[in-house]
Chain A
Amino acid sequence: MAPVLQSSQPWVEKYRPKQVKDVAHQDEVIRVLNNTLETADCPHMLFYGPPGTGKTTTALAIAHQLYGPELYKSRVLELNASDDRGINVVRTKIKDFASVAVASGQRQGGYPCPPYKIIVLDEADSMTEDAQNALRRTMETYSKITRFFFICNYISRIIEPLASRCAKFRFKPLPQEVMGSRISYICKEEGLNLDDEVLSTLSVISQGDLRRAITYLQGAARLYGSSISCKDLINVSGVIPPEASEALFFACKSGNFDLANKEVSNIIAEGYPVSQMLDQLLDMVVEADDISDEQKARICQKLAEADKCLIDGADEYLQLLDVTSNTMRALCNMPEDFTYEA
């Protein structure tokens, strides 16, 4: 076996909380789970919330705390989107695992070891509806001996019958202070120097996603050494520097199509991601004072359309050009949109 260097572990894994009580900012969840740890009893659970808020961490931590390292393997089944999770798997693998009862609980080595198993379904929103339907009955039949933990980003993608069988917990995006304290803890451990300005930049660009913040931090630390500036962080994170987006916005205001076209080609040549550009353009438009509400509405509508088109795989240059031209028309009060007939 090759020796795995300690440092080659991503910080995200390294600093993943091992215990439920260490999970930052999700107070209600932690209270319920602590209760679970004491009484060794828990309902089916559904964790949902934006990425990087600690859902998977919490689920894994509670499982570890309930069973300890020895029993963990035999009692917990972890399935995520990288495993095949079609209806067949639900019918066979999950059912097989769920149907075998375990010996009634005796405390072992300081772990509660409750008399049931846990199945963790990570990224459950990418399961097909059929597979979810197939789970309904399984959940009820084996509810005495199995608990399900569903983890997903969008609760609307979980079918209602499944959601209603679970206790739901919403994970909140982390506010700046919580994130700041966690980040500065990591910085201390890793021997990094970060001043307050950099910390706040990091919180802003990661938008409440702690995993993203830590990844950026690690990237920046690897690239630029122990003292990191705001610019380094922006470089690593793929956020577009404000100058570039402002140049585009300015070109839109100027009403000169060729200028805007040149700006757009430039952005594409620089390799900035267009979806990010749309994000930043939206922020700029919404916050601008000198634009009327109607103009803002026109621009935002187009931004939304372009975003959808990009997801469908449309060309970045054409979409950005279309957005730019529309923004220009809105800002300079040129004629309305084009109809689909004519």
Chain B
Amino acid sequence: MKKQILALFLAVGVLAGLLGGCREATPQNSTASSTNAPSSQAPQKAEIAVGIAQDLDDSLDPYQMTAAGTREVMFNVFEGLIKPDSQGNFVPAVAASYTVSTDGCTYTFPLREGVTFHNGKECTFEDVLYSFQTCAAVTVNSSVAAALSNVADIREENGGVVITLTAPDPDFLSMAASVYIVPKDYDGQATAPVGTGPFRFVSRSIQENVILERFDGYYGAKPALERVTYRIFSDGNALFTALNSGALDLVAHLTVDQVESLTNGYQILEGTMNLVQAMYLNHAKAPFDNELVRQALCYAVDVDAMLALTADGHGAKVGSSMYPAFGKYFDSALADRYPHDVEKAKALLAQAGYPDGFSFTLTVPSNYAPHVDTATVIVEQLKEVGVEAKLELVEWETWLSEVYAGRNFEATLVGFDASTLTASAMLARWVTGDGKNMIGYTNPDYDAAYAAARDPAHTEEEQTAYYRQCLEILSDTAANVYLQDLADFVAINPALTGYAFYPLYVMDMSTLSFQ
């Protein structure tokens, strides 16, 4: 009887497989035209539907928004005096150009002519001043707030903005880029944001969509797309189904398994997520206070095998707290500092006083599948050296309050990205006593190297060398079990071109166009 039931399942499975097989033979172009999705008229109306995995559920105010997903979308609406390009350089935006004084304390931004806000108002010095002052006062990004507290004076000079700092700050440009310029005396930013970017905000339907439209008064090159609808899918599987059905034109942050399961003939682009995924270890808790134990875990984990399992080998090993897009600082040699070596791991554990291994709880936020997948594999790999990791999935919000803020964890597997395009965005957090040093890393050598890197007395080359030294220290002391910068797959309607990957977590809609 059991066999018959089994056979029945198999028959049903095979049938479904056949159906799937037949489906592949149908011409791909029917995908977009036979649906009643809004995207079906896309080629004529130059509008696209983009699938995103989380709602823009925080404030849309540029200084209040916190979620990476919100910043990713609003990048198209807001601009600073300068903005990053896809190469990681800063290009003039609201400012026409910029110059830095030789002492590194005075920045001059001549304002561009004819920049208007989405509400039709012209952008003036008053707006820039207001933006900097408001941002300094209310921003939720503590590193931007810290950088702005260093501003001594902002004044108007020959139709430009001159900013004077109390002390030179090598990262000031990237901080300035995150001060979005908004119109003075407009108080609707939280729900109806107004900026100067190539797209203007049209509407937000909770958990349904966010609509942007081309801003025809944009000073720069006008985007080819007239309208971008971000459709929100709180469930990753539903997002995938919608993509596969042709309801969406563009979805980013897919995994290789999803991409390979896709059957709608979309083109696939591969980039990186620009984050450092690692098993972050709480140094305040035994046995992770022991460097030998941490090193043993590094040897026990086989990153290549993990990449093969979770991503068919896609993704870049990192080895320290820096991802490859930061070419200046990234050291690929560190990625192989701890080759997979079970015997060595066992020996180190024995030396540390744990010959029979130990057990710990690995807390992982459940909302992001790739971290859960990685953790699933790591748990199995650690068993080989006798270390039992108990996987505990928590909501992202619980993770934020308990693990990140409360530091109540043993080990956690997440990815850290850079909120600004600076080395310090990745490295400041490991300085002893830093508010964001969730693992409680304490190392005088590291602190000294980091302080030297930040010292304006050093040349840029010297600073870079010190930052690289920081990375080596993190790797040598096995601060965390560093894993990878995840591969970021983008599936895109074959008719669309011009997608650009950024070294930041943003998606630029202004470069996209239909062929």
Q: Do A and B come from one complex?
A: no
CB within 8 Å of A: which residues of B? none
